[in-house]
Amino acid sequence: MVNLGIDIGGTKIAAGVVDEQGRVLARSRRQTPTVNPTDIDLAIADLYHELSQSYPIKDIGVAAAGFVSSDRSTILTAPNLPWRDYPLGRRVAARLPVGCAVVVENDANAAAWGEHVFGLGRGGSVSLMVTIGTGIGGGIISNGDLQRGAFGAAAEVGHMTVVQDGLRCGCGNLGCWEAYGSGTALVAHAERALLDRPGQGAALRRIRAAAGVLTGPDIAAAAAQGDPLSIELFHTLGDWIGRGLASLTALIDPDVIIVGGGVADSDELLMPSIRRAYSARLTGGQHRPHASIVAASLGNDAGLVGVASLAGMRRTGAI
């Protein structure tokens, strides 16, 4: 049996046909429409019709960057996409063959489940997944259960306040962790640094001039060329991430923390800074066990693999 996993990010919709062992058998993608939510429904249905030509897809799991209702169907709100009380599951199901079930899950929850079932979360008693991309998402697995909270909106860790009256976040609040430790924040920090420090960042300035707009991969490319400013920007980002992870550890005491998402592709730049900041900020850190902090083994596939698995569990009644 195979299911279709859909991972909706701020810039792209990734789709994968996933088997029961978590293997991605086929892929496709679309750009994420950002104005009309109906266009996202159409893109998902289009991906289903494309991939179902070659594979007998049973059900669909949709991992979405937003607050998902407890019935795994409605997007309550999304900081970076045009959903407000939007019945995504029902709208997508209406465009698919009768009998094809649609399960909607928060994208970071889906990634946490993917790592729990098929990746580095296996065997842990309490695992925390943090996805670092356009925003920051989180997922918690405790004793084999995905912790979704009373209303389905647990582990929205990117919207913890880390700076009183700080930078404005995409959610509308001030000082959220996401405004300091995400891929979007990395680019914003870089743009400010290029303005404030005109004699630095030569490689980054060349890349920016050629591309016309700065992206996270551009900063990673400049850092790989040895650009000191770009390397510093990644260290600063890692420091913000590590601080947040230390605060979360005070709350849930995980044995493993898995860092995923697009920015985590630069794990050689980020991980040392994350671990240093985590150890420095962890309350009682000299007298307690530290969680192991690792890069997601499933990479950017964690969300679509996890949500495809959750779709299969819905059919069997396991969720």
If DSSP codes are grouped into helix, strand and coil, which group holds residue 229? helix
User: Residue 259 and residue 294: Cα distance in Å, rounded?
Assistant: 6
Using a pLDDT cut of 90, give the percent of the chain over it: 78
Q: Write out 260-273 in H/E/C secondary structure.
A: ECCHHHHHHHHHHH
d(CA 283, CA 127): 19
- Distance (Å, whole) CA 64 – CA 83: 10
* Contact assessment for residue 61 and residue 103, using Cβ atoms and an 8 Å cutoff: yes
Confirm whether 2-112+300-316 and 122-296 share one CATH topology.
yes
What digits encode the pLDDT tens for the residues 225-279?
999 999 999 999 999 999 999 999 999 999 999 999 877 777 788 999 999 999 9
The pLDDT, as a whole number, for residue 316 is 61
Residue type, position 136, single letter: I
CB 14 within 8 A of CB 304: yes
Domain borders along the chain are: 2-112+300-316, 122-296
CATH superfamily membership of 2-112+300-316: ATPase, nucleotide binding domain (3.30.420.40)
According to the model, what pLDDT value does residue 317 have?
Answer: 58
Predicted local distance difference test score (pLDDT) of residue 111? 94
CATH code assigned to 122-296: 3.30.420.40
If you average pLDDT over residues 51-62, what whole number do you get? Answer: 96
Q: Where are the alpha helices (DSSP H) in 52-153?
A: 88-93, 107-118
What are 244's two structure tokens? 């947040």
Comparing CA positions, the residue from 192, 185, 211 lying closest to residue 80 is 185
Bridge partners of residue 4, in order along the sequence: 17, 60
What is the distance between the alpha carbons of residues 272 and 201, in angstroms, rounded to a whole number? 22
Sequence-ordered list of residues with C-beta below 8 angstroms from that of 228, at least 6 positions apart, any chain: 200, 201
Where does residue 181 fall: left (phi above 0), alpha (psi -120 to 50 degrees), or beta otherwise? alpha
Residue 157 gets the label, from left (phi > 0), alpha (psi -120 to 50) or beta, of alpha
The sign of the CA dihedral 305, 182, 143, 291 is positive
120-144 residue pLDDT tens? 888 889 999 999 988 899 999 999 9
- Give the whole-angstrom CA distance, residue 225 versus residue 305: 33
